[in-house]
Every structure is written in C-alpha cells, then in structure tokens.
C-alpha cells in the first residue's frame, strides 16, 4: 500500500513540477528613443491562441497616442503563462503596454552621424547604402538615418 501511495504522490508532484516548469515569464521591450508623456495604454489579458500563432487584437495606439509611441512592452506574466499551461497552449494570454510619446520628442536628426537619402534606390543600391550606414554608425558611435 505504501508503494502505491508513494507512486501517486510522486506522479502528482511530477505533474505540478511540469506545469511550473513550462510556465516561464516572457518579457520584450521596444524603445523608440522618444520621451514618454506619462499616458499609456495597457491590456493586461490580451488573448492570443495556439501558442501565439493567432495573435491578440491590434492595440489601436495611433488614435490614443497622437505623437507616436515611446515604448512598447509585451509580457507573459506567471499567471498568463499558467493559463497557457493549463489550456495546453490553446489560450495564451499576454500583457501589452504602450507608453505614448510626448509632443516634440522625436528622435533628433541633429544627433545623427549622417543622414543618407535612399529614395528611389534599387535593391542592389540599398545593400550598399545600409552597409555604409552601419560603417558610419560604428565609426562615429552615433545613429545614422536612412530616408526613403
């Protein structure tokens, strides 16, 4: 009897450990270089499905952030991941936060090492233009803007 009880306890513990092991937190941040305005849009349970293959609805930030976004952050919290684990990935919610940019906070071209005009460039020319931009940015240790 003790062997059966031990086997059941071990099986239950293994299942609990597997659920916790497969529910990791995921976090990605995209910064645009603009100053934040203090206004933000947050969707704490944006629903995606089938391990994220069906993405959550689009965040309508253009109408709420007239000056663009300063930062976009996505995250699978522990609870979001737990729901994904319990549903075997069928429902995979995430948290999305968009921090709006302040007016006049555009990343300044005055700080750029160079501004390269690529309007009307062919694909072969684009490769040369981007290679030049990379070399200039590395040499000058400053951003390089490519205009189209």
Q: Is residue 7 part of a domain?
A: no
Give, for 3, the enclosing helix (H) or strand (E): helix 2-21
% residues pLDDT > 70 (the chain): 86
Residue 48 placed within a domain: yes
- CA 52 – CA 88 distance, rounded (Å): 12
For residue 9, tell me if it sits in a domain: no
In a domain, 132, yes or no: yes
Measure the CA–CA gap between 75 and 29, rounded to whole angstroms.
Answer: 9
Q: Is the model's pLDDT at 6 over the cut of 80?
A: no
Q: Are residues 94 and 114 in the same domain?
A: no
| Same domain assignment for residues 49 and 116 | no
Looking at the structure, tell me whether residues 83 and 122 fall in a common domain: no
Residue 59 lies in a domain: yes
Domain ranges, residue 130 = 109-147
Over residues 78-122, the pLDDT tens digits come to 888 889 889 998 999 999 999 999 887 555 555 666 777 777 878
Mean local confidence (pLDDT), 127-134: 83
**pLDDT category of residue 49 using cuts at 50, 70 and 90:** very high
Query: Which of the four pLDDT bands, split at 50, 70 and 90, describes residue 148?
Result: confident
Regarding whether 88 and 122 lie in a shared domain, the answer is no
Please report the pLDDT score of residue 127 as a whole number.
84
**Number of domains within the chain:** 2
- 65-77 confidence digits (pLDDT tens): 888 888 999 998 8
Burial of 53 (0-12, 13-18, 19+ CB in 10 A): exposed
């Amino acid at each position: 009897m003790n062997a059966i009880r031990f086997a059941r306890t071990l099986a239950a513990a293994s299942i609990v450990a597997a659920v916790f092991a497969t529910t990791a937190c995921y976090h990605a941040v995209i910064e645009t270089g603009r100053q934040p305005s203090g206004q933000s849009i947050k969707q704490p349970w944006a629903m995606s499905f089938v391990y994220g293959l069906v993405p959550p609805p689009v965040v309508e930030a253009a109408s709420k952030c007239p000056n663009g976004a300063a930062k976009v952050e996505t995250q699978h919290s522990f609870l979001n991941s737990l729901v994904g684990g319990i549903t075997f990935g069928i429902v995979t919610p995430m948290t999305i936060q968009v921090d709006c940019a302040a007016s006049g906070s555009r990343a300044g071209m005055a700080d750029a090492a160079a501004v390269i005009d690529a309007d009307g460039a062919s694909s072969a020319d684009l490769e040369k233009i981007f290679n030049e931009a990379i070399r200039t940015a590395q040499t000058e240790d400053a951003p390089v803007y490519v205009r189209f």
